A and B are shown apart, each in its own frame.
Chain A
């Protein structure tokens, strides 16, 4: 059974840093792209970052230069290093597995999420 379990969320002051982790099991982790997606309370889904099987990384403009996604295949783990955090980064952060179909990618498994609150 595929499982994704996030950890590392919490309360952090504006300008601070936090590192999220996602522990994967039930599939060959190294063979899949992995993503982070966030959702502020009562709001929609926002894609945060992606990492390919070769370690290539991708970010939207809203987090580029502040967030760093990484993976450690030997530990079946995904990470998100978040720096220079702002109030607008407050959200539940989900890790999600990427599934390719042709030239399109979607997310077939999601973790339960970890809450990040940026506040003084």
Chain B
């Protein structure tokens, strides 16, 4: 099975900072990667799919990049409402795997 490893597991940054979260696949997955945001007590929300395509309605400060095994989610200017846990998710051969999550807090 392909494993997904996110880093860091948590981070603390100031409002306005640029934040980068990394997701690494144990084998190449082309661009079959999505990112989700889960705010405390809420349901996960799709942010980005196909590694870099922004889901409708998601603020443009969110962006994704990568292909193969290494992917990044970037928040260009961190806002208070971005406090959440972020998960990557891969789809490959009908099997789905999530990364372990990255908790983002405001410093």
Contacts and interface: CB of A to CB of B under 8 A. Distances in A.
**Secondary structure of the B contact surface, majority rule:** strand
A101 B31 CA distance: 10
From A37, A45, A58, residue with most partner B Cβ within 10 Å: A45
A44 B49 contact: no
Interface string B32-52: 111010100001111001100
A106 B101 contact: no
Interface in A21-42: 35, 37
Nearest to B100: A44
Contacts of A105: 91, 96
A48 B96 CA distance: 9
Interface string B18-37: 00000000000011111010
A113 B19 CA distance: 30
A67 interface: no
A14 interface: no
Given A45-B98, A47-B97, A104 B43 contact: no
A50 interface: yes
Contacts of A79: none
A61 B1 CA distance: 10
